Amino acid sequence: MSNQSAFSTKSVHAGENRVKANHAVTTPIFQTSTYTFANTAELTDYMEARMWGDSENRWEYGRYGNPTIRTAEQKIAALDAAEDAVLFSSGMAAITATLMTFLSAGDHIVYTDDSYRRTRDFIGNHLKRFGVEATIVPMGDFSALEAAIRPNTKIIFSESPTNPYMRVLDLEQLTAIARPRGIKTIVDSTFATPVNQRPLEYGVDLVIHSATKYLGGHNDLLAGVVCGSEYLIAAVRQIQGVFGAVSDPNSAYLLLRGLKTLSLRVRRQNETAQRLAEFLQGHPAVREVYYPGLPGHPDHTIATAQMDGFGGVVSFVLNTDFAGTGEFIDRLEIPLIGPSLGGVESLVNQVALVSYFELSSAEREAIGIKDSLVRFAVGIEDADDIIADVTRALDHAFDTTTLSLENGFMVMRRAA
């Protein structure tokens, strides 16, 4: 497959042998935990090749590789402009194993806020148990990022776009700071996918995706993937063999199936999310909309220059309270209520409820999570139907004839 091929062509064919086992069209599921050898000489040849890192597509045990999994890794690497990739059992498994690969006691990591909560939890709380220091900085504040760097800083970690406010990191500026200092850069690009953004092309060292989301695309698998140079991925793969957080061949098969339609799905989701964001921006029941495709988004200029599309997630704040937000969500008929994103089905959630319920309203507000914040992850349903559904839910959940000005905002009262 030529590197010059269009993205959708790569989605279908890259990483796969043209002639597959038993002449099947699709890569089969190799459901095996153990691989055998014809004789001692063959096993000796394999062991010698493995010592020199030259045992491609040959394994002795499932924790170290599988033909179905390897095909998925090769396809994702091709899509993300990477030399190699390693597939994990989940996105968090990919993140934790990667950080543990390159951090040791006494090292320091800088990471940005407005990132996935479990990522921040692992970096800010769990790594300290292993003697790793961490500093969190505001997303997009490169002065704070430079000030946070120490002589023992080994990694800068960020998401782009972020969750839930869809902030977009200036990747060129990030690598310009990190590379001269010998600091590795790691970017979680789950929300973008390789369709919209390929951070490795900007000099980022490693890219991570929760393949559970857009790459799989059907809400039916768990997987994570790390992409980068052969050298760095080899180090991550070695840690994976120790930690054992491997994917399974059935999930890899489902992932391969999903990747073939990745370009079609994501471009549709880009278009629908843009239309939804523009609609919400003009609705009196909506206080704020967070979507990088809107000119008013703080990173719109960066996103326009750096991304080929703005993604399928729209976050917005309603002019109501915690209960009113729940009422709005309950009125929606198309999206399902759930914590994930990136699938063919639209999913919606009240962020304060699904991710921060144990915190008080004041505690949530202090970390930037408003009680009326909604995250809408569009699927591939018709955009007109989605917008009509949101319109009906807003009309029913709010008394549109009762408006009042409070703290500088036009507030709509919930219907009785």
pTM of full prediction above 0.85? yes
| Angle at CA of residue 99, ends 244 and 182, nearest 5° | 140
In this prediction, residue 410 has a pLDDT band, given cuts at 50, 70 and 90, of: very low
CA dist list (Å): 96 to 120, 170, 239, 397, 398:
11, 24, 10, 41, 43
Show me where the domains of the chain are located.
7-30+66-259, 263-414
**pLDDT higher than 90, residue 358:** no
Quote the CA–CA distance of 375 and 359 in Å, as a whole number.
18
In this prediction, residue 404 has a pLDDT band, given cuts at 50, 70 and 90, of: very low
Quote the CA–CA distance of 19 and 412 in Å, as a whole number.
61
> What confidence score (pLDDT) does residue 2 get?
66
> What confidence score (pLDDT) does residue 399 get?
59
| Close Cβ partners of 231 (under 8 Å, ≥ 6 residues apart) | none
pLDDT, tens only, 237-276: 999 999 999 999 999 999 999 999 999 999 999 999 999 9
Q: Which strand ranges, in their side-by-side order, compose the sheet holding 313-318?
A: 286-290, 313-318, 373-377, 347-350, 336-337
* Residues annotated catalytic, as ranges: 63, 116, 188, 213
**pLDDT higher than 80, residue 353:** yes
Torsion angle defined by CA atoms of residues 399, 402, 406 and 409, in that order, rounded to the nearest 10 degrees: 70
What's the rounded mean pLDDT across residues 273-294? 96
Contact 11, 5 (CB under 8 A): no
What's the rounded mean pLDDT across residues 67-79? 97
Quote the CA–CA distance of 195 and 88 in Å, as a whole number.
21
Range name among 33-37, 123-127, 299-303, 352-356 with the lowest pLDDT average: 352-356
Report the topology of domain 263-414. Answer: Aspartate Aminotransferase, domain 1 (3.90.1150)
What's the rounded mean pLDDT across residues 352-370? 82
The mean pLDDT of the chain is 92
Contact 287, 317 (CB under 8 A): yes
Four-way CATH pick for 7-30+66-259: 1.10.10.10, 3.40.640.10, 3.60.21.10, 3.20.20.105? 3.40.640.10
> What confidence score (pLDDT) does residue 401 get?
42
